[in-house]
């Protein structure tokens, strides 16, 4: 294994454990997690592998195969910069339960595609430390730790979806998660049996303001919930009545969150009924709602969705936080080429940078490799 060899070369001994954690795509349930709602992501076949040996002192030595050079040596958590913050954030959140560590990282999540490489990094390191220090944390506790590292250390106010998907997903299945109770179960997602694939369309564009807009959406939802006198938008039962009491963006955001939660439940109903070919309409409705009510899409994402549908996709939507990143399309296998051709041609015509296509098969969550 490449990462174990790099560890040995840098630190002079074998790592005590090697853990892998995947990135994710979200099938449906977007911007619902921090509203205590429902999500339905699945893990992708790409992720982060962390080779780890605990240290007795508090020093952290870090090496990434994606940032060649000497290992970075950090005497205190405050010295962390860039990608090292996601790792050191996990160590910081573990507090006195761990000391320092030697860590080598290798990752193959396509960068900037919005497939949660940061959650994969947090969960792989958290899982390895949990194992080596015998902390007895459950996969959900590891996900919560990763989220806390990102919220409190990195400063990104994300919900729990990405880390939960990375920690809990199972091969061939999607993860249905209630983000309030944190109850979860996996649901079979056997696309191949229906002659279907989920195609990831990576726009290769990531807009700078995404982080600020994310925090703004979250604040707008919290403000709307306060005005409605409910703990979170998840609790809105009378949508028409709620919309009458709100105005402007808060009205639009509420409309999205409440209807998106219903779409998650409807999609699960279809999967349970074995009607996976019928989920396309829900994907399309989710996209329109994210575009028009939640206002987190982008011209590249909208064009990817429109051109995929023109090329014969059964449904398509942006996935993840938005403002760039990736869209997903549900495509019958015999249409895969025509969908890709349609999107590529539309991008060329608009003068957009060529998109990248990736096949998504539901992969396994965090696990030990060595």
Task: Tell me the closest approach of the beta carbon of residue 156 to ligand GLA, in angstroms.
Answer: 7
**Stretch binding ligand GLA (CB under 6 A), from 3-11, 30-38, 335-343, 346-354:** 30-38
Q: Is 44 in the site for ligand GLA (CB under 6 A)?
A: no
Residue 2 tokens read as 């490449």
Q: Please identify which residue in 3, 28, 30, 327 interacts with ligand GLA, judged by CB under 6 A.
A: 30
53 SS3 class? strand
- What whole-number distance in Å separates Cα of residue 260 and Cα of residue 346? 28
Task: Tell me the closest approach of the beta carbon of residue 32 to ligand GLA, in angstroms.
Answer: 7
Residue 365 tokens read as 């969550």
106 SS3 class? strand
Q: Is 320 in the site for ligand GLA (CB under 6 A)?
A: yes
- What whole-number distance in Å separates Cα of residue 52 and Cα of residue 55? 10
Judge whether 68 and 6 are in contact, CB under 8 Å.
no
Task: Tell me the closest approach of the beta carbon of residue 293 to ligand GLA, in angstroms.
Answer: 14
Please identify, using beta-carbon distances, which residue of 11 and 34 lies nearer to ligand GLA. 34
Judge whether 116 and 181 are in contact, CB under 8 Å.
no
Task: Tell me the closest approach of the beta carbon of residue 279 to ligand GLA, in angstroms.
Answer: 18
Size of interface with ligand GLA, in residues (CB under 6 A)? 10
x/- letters, 162..201, toward ligand GLA (CB under 6 A): x---------------------------------------
Q: Please identify which residue in 31, 85, 252, 263 interacts with ligand GLA, judged by CB under 6 A.
A: 31
The catalytically annotated residue of 33, 36, 162, 202 is 162
Judge whether 361 and 118 are in contact, CB under 8 Å.
no
- 8-state DSSP, 126: H
Burial bucket for residue 259 (CB in 10 Å: 0-12, 13-18, 19+): middle
- What whole-number distance in Å separates Cα of residue 66 and Cα of residue 112? 14
Residue 146 tokens read as 């990763």
Q: Please identify which residue in 6, 43, 62, 161 interacts with ligand GLA, judged by CB under 6 A.
A: 161
**Stretch binding ligand GLA (CB under 6 A), from 31-39, 125-133, 182-190, 226-234:** 31-39
Residue 95 tokens read as 């507090």
Q: Please identify which residue in 15, 89, 110, 159 interacts with ligand GLA, judged by CB under 6 A.
A: 159
Mark whether 292 is an active-site residue.
no
Bridge partner residues of 54 (DSSP): 101
Q: Which residues bind ligand GLA (CB under 6 A)?
A: 30-31, 33-34, 158-159, 161-162, 320-321
Q: Which residues are catalytic?
A: 162
């Amino acid at each position: 294994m490449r990462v174990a060899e790099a560890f040995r070369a840098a630190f002079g001994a074998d790592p005590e454990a090697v853990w892998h954690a995947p990135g994710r795509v979200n099938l449906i349930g977007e911007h619902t997690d921090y509203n205590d709602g429902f999500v339905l992501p699945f893990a992708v076949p790409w992720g982060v592998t962390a080779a780890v040996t605990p240290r007795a002192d508090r020093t952290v030595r870090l090496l990434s195969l994606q940032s060649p050079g000497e290992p970075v040596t950090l005497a205190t958590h405050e010295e962390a910069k860039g990608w090292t913050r996601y790792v050191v954030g996990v160590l910081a959140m573990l507090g006195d339960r761990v000391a320092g560590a030697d860590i080598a990282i290798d990752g193959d999540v396509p960068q900037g595609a919005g497939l949660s490489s940061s959650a994969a990094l947090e969960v792989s390191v958290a899982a390895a430390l949990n194992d080596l220090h015998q902390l007895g944390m459950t996969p959900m506790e590891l996900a919560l730790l990763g989220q806390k590292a990102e919220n409190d250390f990195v400063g990104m106010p994300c919900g729990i979806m990405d880390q939960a998907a990375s920690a809990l997903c199972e091969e061939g299945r999607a993860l249905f998660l209630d983000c309030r109770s944190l109850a979860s179960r996996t649901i079979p997602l056997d696309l191949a049996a229906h002659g279907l694939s989920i195609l990831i369309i990576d726009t290769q564009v990531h807009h700078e303001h995404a982080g600020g807009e994310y925090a703004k959406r979250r604040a707008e939802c919290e403000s709307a919930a306060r005005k409605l006198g409910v703990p979170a938008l998840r609790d809105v039962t009378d949508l028409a009545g709620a919309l009458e009491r709100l105005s402007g963006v808060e009205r639009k955001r509420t409309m999205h969150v409440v209807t998106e939660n219903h779409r998650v439940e409807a999609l699960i109903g279809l999967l349970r009924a074995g009607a996976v070919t019928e989920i396309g309409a829900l994907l399309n409705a989710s996209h329109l709602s994210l575009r028009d009510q939640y206002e987190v899409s982008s011209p590249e994402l909208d064009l990817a969705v429109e051109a995929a549908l023109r090329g014969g996709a059964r449904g398509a939507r942006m996935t993840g936080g938005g403002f760039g990143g990736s869209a997903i399309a549900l495509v019958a296998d015999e249409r895969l080429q025509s969908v890709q051709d349609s999107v590529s041609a539309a991008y060329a015509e608009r003068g957009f940078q060529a998109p990248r296509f990736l096949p998504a098969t539901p992969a396994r969550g965090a696990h030990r490799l060595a």
